[in-house]
Structure 1
Amino acid sequence: MAKEALSVEELAAKIYAASGGMDNVESVNHCMTRVRMTVRDHDKVDQQGLKDIPGVMGVVNDEQLQVIIGPGKVNKVANAMVAQAGVDLGQEIPQSTLSGKDALSAKTAEMKAAQKAKQKQSPFKSLLKDISNIFVPMIPAFVGAGLVAGIASVLTNLITAGRLDGDTWNYYVMILNILKNGMFTYLAIFTGVNAAQVFKANPTLGGVIGSVILLSGMNPDAPIQNLFTGEALVANQGGILGVIFAVWLLAKLEAVLHKVIPEAIDIIVTPTLCLLIIGLAEIFLIMPLAGAISDSLVGSINWVLNVGGAFSGFVLGAAFLPMVMFGLHQILTPIHIQMIEATGSTQLLPILAMAGAGQVGAALALWVRLRKDKELTEMIKGALPVGILGIGEPLIYGVTLPLGRPFITACIGGGIGGAVIGALSNIGATAIGPSGMALIPLIANGHWLGYIFGLLAGYAGGFVATYFFGIPKDRLAAVKETEAGTETVVPQATAAENTNERSVQDTTTTFYAVANGQTKALTESSDPVFRQKMMGDGYFVLPENGAIYAPVSGTVTAVFPTKHAIGFTTSSGLEVLLHMGVDTVELKGIPFDVFVEVGQEVTPDTQVAQVDLPQLKAHQKAAEMLVLVTNMDAVSTVGTLKTGQTNAGEMVLNVK
């Protein structure tokens, strides 16, 4: 009985499952015919299970785990596998560290993958995905440093309020601040490194671009001037989003320079030009632009404060987090100080603190509505305590912002909390400190109950707005399918895709030697996949020189990016693969010059490539020029192979 065909996403999920699970796979790559996996424990691999998967033509479990899929489909399967893992081809797949992730079954993975495949992509969704990929790796550090910062903040506020002895506790607060500053002081650098990895730029250059907004080398007595206002630039103007934009520009520039700069000087010229061009643009354009925006906001904020009441509270509570992301919250510090000097407290800080409360409420709503989404709920569990203490980065960058809509509803929740604080009035803080519960000791004149009421309103506002309007539809649909235990229905491949059926003429195709040298039967190949004819029948030539010619008359249908393999299709419908060398995908194209392109018509007189045979020998790669028919279902008869010494273009085999 024929195996039932699987979609690409289902095939990818089943390969993971039979390979010991995604946690057992360290990286995924592919060549012209095989998915190549580096696995952590070969004993966990179910080889027979892999062979039994519909669409798998064979398995080799050597230094690498090789799953033979065949040309034309192997790249789709490999790309689906890395997409499910959230990495790129060849990139290390991080092992799961979150409890509950291991409990996800292969069926759940299949459903999620299929659901994801049905989603329509948009530039906005791509942007959110990039932001998620930038910040998710930082979540453990956010949570750890955030908890330390929260404890330090509570102690600091208790000292400021006179409830703890400063001479005794300030030392411990200093130690805690040193620990947390490693994360939050240099967040721009970490963001630059991760953004560079997402946008395919050099990670170290990305970190340097991130560090630019710290203005660490600027002389305070002779500061750099803002081109828009003439005033001094302030560190962190432009904020995290400014860093992300600058690193995106870096990736674009670096890609262009790598193409036009000669290889001999590329390592010197490219990073220097990148740093000069992007760094200067960051200092003199991106940061000043944010500074100009912040200056224009000062008047708006003063007007909002003068209006007062619930309206002011809502606007400020809802707008604060976007301001933080652009680094514009710096403009509020002088206002806080002026208020404290004039009245003994700042009534602005408790209002702004409600922004964090909205994030907490939104996270709670996501937890309730998407409780079957183990990965998301585990992240929320880690970020919530930190958010309650007033450290909002884990919730913002790890939960609400990557999902898009919940970030907006969280800001609405912050606005509701701010409106309550504004309506109550006379709720101020005696010093500048963090938000959340940690701010309670600093609330002036014993009005801390009003502040708590505002927090609860912010929690409730963020929860309600997110529960009803902020749940991403795609995540909710995936969870509902998981709860129902139903399989996601995905369009089946066409019969031609599943069986390689073609309208094949009853004719004979002549195959030719692809080089001067020894022609040998495929069963003598040093590669077990080819030797066992897992990919199809054929032959190979051990060449005397590097000139390689087409094995048949036909059309070039594929040229692999690493240049080691070329696909052809004959007029009779035979699919032919020319694979130059064994395991040469690892050489990334260095020994090969390919002279043909997809769509080009060729004959046995067409030289398709030039191979550097000494390079193959230096890398200890077998110089077998392999020729295979990959759609053997279209073959009725394979003739007798002419072996021994042959010349390029000499007939060696007939296939009917």
Structure 2
Amino acid sequence: MAEDKITRIANQIYQNVGGAENVDKLIHCMTRVRMTIRDMSKVNMDGLKAIDGVMGVVDDETLQVIVGPGTVNKVAEKMVEEVGVKLGEPFPEDAIDESQMTDKERVEAKAARVKAEQKAKQKQTPIKRILKSISNIFIPLIPVFVGAGLIGGIAAVLSNLMVAGDIGKSWTELILVLNILKNGVFAYLSVYVGINSAIEFGATPGMGGVIGAVTLLNGMTPEAPLHNIFNGQALAAGQGGIIGVIFAVWVLSIVEKRLHKIIPDSIDIIITPTLSLLVIGLFTIFLVMPVAGVISNSLVGAINWVLNVGGAFAGFILGALFLPMVMLGLHQILTPIHIEMIDKTGSTPLLPILAMAGAGQVGAALALWIRCRKNKELTNLIKGALPVGFLGIGEPLIYGVTLPLGKPFITACIGGGIGGAVVGGLGHVGAIAIGPSGLALIPLINNGHIMAYVLGLLAGYAGGFVATYFFGIPKDAITDQKEDLSKTEKTIDSFDGATVAAIYAPVDGQEVALSEVHDPIMAQEVMGKSMAVVPNADSALYAPVDGKVSMIADTGHAIGFTDQIGEEVLVHVGIDTVKLGGKPFHLTIKDGEQVTRGQKIGTVDWKEITEAGLDPVTITIITNSANYKVNKAKNVSQVNDRTILMNTEVA
């Protein structure tokens, strides 16, 4: 059964992103499947969000589908397995015959495509692009940090117990083995970072790994050191840290690409790697390592100074702002900072403070559970997200619970700030490795400060709970609409002798079979039970139900409604009409507005749609139809705003 679920989610994600042929590259992190999309206009965002098992979708420089920890790695592996590539490898392009291209032409074609995609998206600042690249370098290493960090934590605990005399020296060999496993990651981290940086910047991965290894200065001895050309002091292995490695590999990518262009193909495989490694190797040792060493030392010193001077205030600001960073997917950029601090001081004081953001989330969720206990749909979401929330994985709570409700997201941030203030005020709380958060971070807290971290967690739980309980509960979340029908006026219709809630046609026109709809996602009812209507040339748009407008697409081509029994109804106007940028659509409603069935909600320039070569067929979809018994109208032809398309039996 578990495999069936994984396969279903993987296939439905492909169906809603325009197929595997619309994916250029796929990786995953702790909770998200991250895809580089070739043509975003083919992505059905509403369909992705409607997939059972998907907790949320983020459209950034990569399309991020949140399926939660434990599931994400299985879904991602299934998706790349079906295509026949590995995680992070380019997907084959069926639309372009690359068999006649040289390697150089393939790289240039891909660069041109990615450049065009970036221009089509919302303008990105240079700083944001840099931070995103850094994030992409470390995302594949996060699971390794988690495993190695916990192993190192166990070794540290056993070592302390042995020093204290609580366990005997017979444990020495086990402690050594555990440390060897941990050092397999951290001792050679510069190599892994070099490889991932090369992949991110478009250089040869193996050469990026070599540049990372250069910073280890293998073969140099204390008796015959290499010297810093600026101050004459001996260089130290690892000087400049991973910040220097990332920069050096970025320069490598520039040099290598340039050499590929000017070196003849017949000798390119010999000359390009030799010159690249020689030039960048010397550049790394004598320029990057000294300069990056000063930068990394200054960065670590500045952060420690801010935390020592700012104390509780600095802790509050950092704890409160971390959730928005997670929401934007930018939190991974802190990874190199954590690693530099661990390398220089033995621990990172930032991680315990930032972990308080997850505690605020947990507190907010507990308050929602109590205050909104009649809302079964919400409490079920909270039950599913809380266990991993306690372990510091906050994305299911963010995207599934607090952020959609609005106020609880803000009060959860306040809770994170309170926890951060406690940790920052007590001071000297650090993590000896990175990876986990929440309760799972406890084994990695530096000696003697575990209780301070636990007090911070409790403060974060309490702060998020109190702030949400008294100030962050939305009124419409307190009760489940499906269980509160007796208190609201509801629209009930008679249809074929049954007592049902009805969904009416949103346009005047001709009803057509779904099999005639030229969109496989729509035709196969992936998003839910559906009916299709080809609109008349003079038809307006009408509300299909009594209820509330729950969403309006930026381009106006899709409108969501929630009716009085909790049905979620989506009206999707036309196929691929998102490409028109909203020009044909003139809506007179806004998000959150109450509407009545048959109410005119706008107009559409149907001629503009057809002249653009697009299909104006309008689909009405019950996106949560799995919760109801849906009956479709039969033998209907011409329809108008008074025609019932579907009805659902009231439980």
Larger RCO, structure (CA 8 Å, separation 6 or more): 1
Higher Rg:
1
Shorter-chain TM range is 0.3 to 0.5
